[in-house]
Amino acid sequence: MSVQIWTYLLVGITFALYIGIAIWSRAGSTKDFYVAGGGVSPLANGMATAADWMSAASFISMAGIIAFAGYDGSVYLMGWTGGYVLLALLLAPYLRKFGKFTVPDFIGDRYYSKTARIVAVICALIVSFTYVAGQMRGVGVVFSRFLEVDINTGVIIGMIIVLFYAVLGGMKGITYTQVAQYCVLIFAFMVPAIFISIQMTGNPVPQLGMGSKLADGSGTYLLDKLDGLSTELGFNAYTNGSKSMIDVLAITLALMVGTAGLPHVIVRFFTVKRVKDARKSAGLALLLIAILYTTAPAVAVFARTNMINTVNNKEYGSMPEWFTKWETTGLFQFDDKNKDGKIQYVADKNRNELYVDPDSMVLANPEIANLPAWVIALVAAGGLAAALSTAAGLLLVISASVSHDLIKKVFKPTISDKGELWAARLSATVAVVIAGYFGINPPGFVAAVVALAFGLAAASFFPAIVLGIFYKKMNKEGAIAGMVTGTLLMLFYMTKFKFDWFGGGTSEDWWFGISPEGFGSIAMLANFLVSISVMKLTPPPPYNVQEIVEDIRIPSGAGEAIDH
């Protein structure tokens, strides 16, 4: 069977599975819709958290970035993985013991203020919409190549699927759908990695294959081969970095603390019965995430080496069918500048004739390596699973922020449970439409957009959550001032240097030499500084709030969640 038939078959089966699960587990109450009834097992929650966490950026874009950036791409591995450890150890158990549905719910109650709640809702919406733009873009990329439709049509198809199971099932439907999506995405990521590792090095373990000798009998190590190919073409040696150490540190820190402030990941820890279950599911999720994250650098090395060997200095007319198909998506583009009919892939922009979108590398990798059609189709199904699982989690955060934190807690406290459920579904529908727009008109490739979302989460939520848990004297005035300052500062820097607003600027104009992806760490420090400074000048929080903060840090009796 052809790749396209295999793709229709595997994607059709997985979509039918997701929709079937949504129908089986549809939400009947707001507790089902927001936190899956609070009765998810640690294993299921661990798998769902891993799927929620490993978005299109992890599956499609991260290995692509590492393939082109080499050593510089390691900031994504360190930041995202380290951030999850930070979240699991530092925040998740305490938030679970606090016993609320959402991050704005925690901030609104902890800081005893409707204003704080509204500011947190606005921050959650900004972070979630920025993040979901990357997911919908990932859906469009997969559909455009494998179902041979344009990217915009692919985004619309993805919108319809997500809308169905997110609106019908809520968190309950999303949780069990994400369990299935984790199985699909990890199988789809590992199978081609193992195939290509055996093909190139004879080692079936991709993580070891990356550092092994080539199977061609030359005695050359794979990484040495790639370093040589890169320098021959004028690029930096693959294993050398070009970013400044301050920017590497800033990006890694922004990704780490941004992870710990992501509302769609934090809400997953409210779906289990007890605090100890939150800890268990966090640990299981980390193990499940590590499978993909330790494999991504190997996939990047395989993809980059194969692409250079397959494409550079080859006759354009003799390129295999996959190249032509990727060209139609616009993700591979050939411009024959010297009119010799050969593809010149070099670092010199004036002579380079090939453009390759980083988001295409993981998806094109099995085709470049000439793997079987079913493996190529499996990768498409995995990419869709990764993008859709995270998109659904983000859309739930958006709908809960509007229906629970704004309508129920601020504007209409007397709304019935049924009315709140309908409001949640309506807001999810509106959110899907807006997310689709961002997917069709994205501000950059998937991982770059997602990195900006992490910067926004770092700048807004992380200080308010950490100070809310570990500093009982932090008051509402300090938290509100800090969140507003951090968010506005990050938005200004992001729009100035990423979207050329406010006069734009080049990398030479970056403040302290830090890129927009890393500026979240500076905005976070500004948030902390403003929060503590304002707190010193304003009245302390009420005594009962300070008691709550003391209580959520007490390990004794942590077997049951305590609602306040």
Q: Which 3-state string (H, E, C) describes 100-134?
A: CCCHHHHHHHHCCCHHHHHHHHHHHHHHHHHHHHH
State CA 208 to chain mean position distance.
26
How far apart are the C-alpha atoms of 556 and 315, rounded to whole Å? 70
CB 206 within 8 A of CB 299: yes
Tell me the mean pLDDT in the region 494-520.
78
Percent of the chain residues topping a pLDDT of 70: 90
Check pLDDT > 80 for residue 135. Answer: no
Output 399 or 168, whichever has higher pLDDT: 399
Asked if pLDDT for residue 478 goes beyond 90, the answer is yes
In one-letter notation, the amino acid at residue 486 is G
State the pLDDT at residue 273. Answer: 75
List the structure tokens of 330: 């616009």
Cα separation of 561 and 564, whole Å? 10
Spatial CB neighbours of 522, under 8 Å, sequence gap ≥ 6: 250, 489, 493, 511, 512, 514
CB atoms closer than 10 angstroms to residue 194: 18
Q: What is the dihedral of CA 230, 234, 235, 238, to 10 degrees?
A: 30
pLDDT (0 to 100) of residue 168: 64
CA 150 to chain CA mean position, Å: 23
**Can you tell me the distance from the alpha carbon of 515 to that of 508, in angstroms, rounded to the nearest whole number?**
10
pLDDT at 561 over 50: no
Phi, psi values for residue 39, rounded to 5°: -125, 25
Q: What is the pTM of this model?
A: 0.81
Taken in order 459, 275, 270, 292, is the CA torsion positive or negative? positive
Specify whether the CB–CB gap between 280 and 269 falls below 8 A: no
Q: Is the pLDDT of residue 503 over 70?
A: no
Tens digit of each residue's pLDDT (9 = 90 or more) over 145-165: 777 777 778 788 877 877 776
> 492, 53, 97, 471: which is closest to 259 by C-alpha?
53
Query: Among 7, 103, 64, 57, which residue's Cα sits nearest to residue 479?
Result: 103
CA separation for the pair 403, 420 (Å, rounded) = 6
Residues across the chain = 564
Q: Is the pLDDT at 27 greater than 90, yes or no? A: no
- Residue 39 burial (C-beta neighbours within 10 Å; 0-12, 13-18, 19+): middle
> Over 70: is that where the pLDDT of 501 sits?
no
When comparing pLDDT for 142 and 72, which is higher? Answer: 72
Distance CA 140, CA 442 (A): 11
Q: For residue 23, is pLDDT > 90?
A: no
Domains and CATH numbers, the chain: 3-206+221-241+250-552 (1.20.1730.10)
* Alpha carbon distance 249, 238 (integer Å): 20
Element (H, E) at 549: helix 543-552
Q: How far apart are CA 390 and CA 454, in angstroms?
A: 14
**CA 463 – CA 470 distance, rounded (Å):** 10
Residue 309 contacts by C-beta under 8 Å, 6 or more apart in sequence? Answer: 229
Distances from the Cα of 470 to the Cαs of 85, 102, 107, 459, 464, in angstroms?
18, 19, 13, 18, 10
Q: How far apart are CA 5 and CA 13, in angstroms?
A: 12
Q: How confident is the model at residue 534 (pLDDT cuts 50, 70, 90)?
A: very high
Residues with Cβ within 8 Å of 349's Cβ and at least 6 positions away in sequence, in order, are none
Return d(Cα 189, Cα 378) in angstroms, integer. Answer: 9
Looking at residue 11, its pLDDT comes to 83
- Please report which confidence band the pLDDT of residue 560 belongs to, taking 50, 70 and 90 as the band edges: very low
Assign 26 a pLDDT band (cuts: 50, 70, 90). low
Band of pLDDT at residue 10, cut at 50, 70 and 90:
confident
Per-residue pLDDT band for 243 (boundaries 50, 70, 90) equals confident
Which pLDDT value is given to residue 295? 93
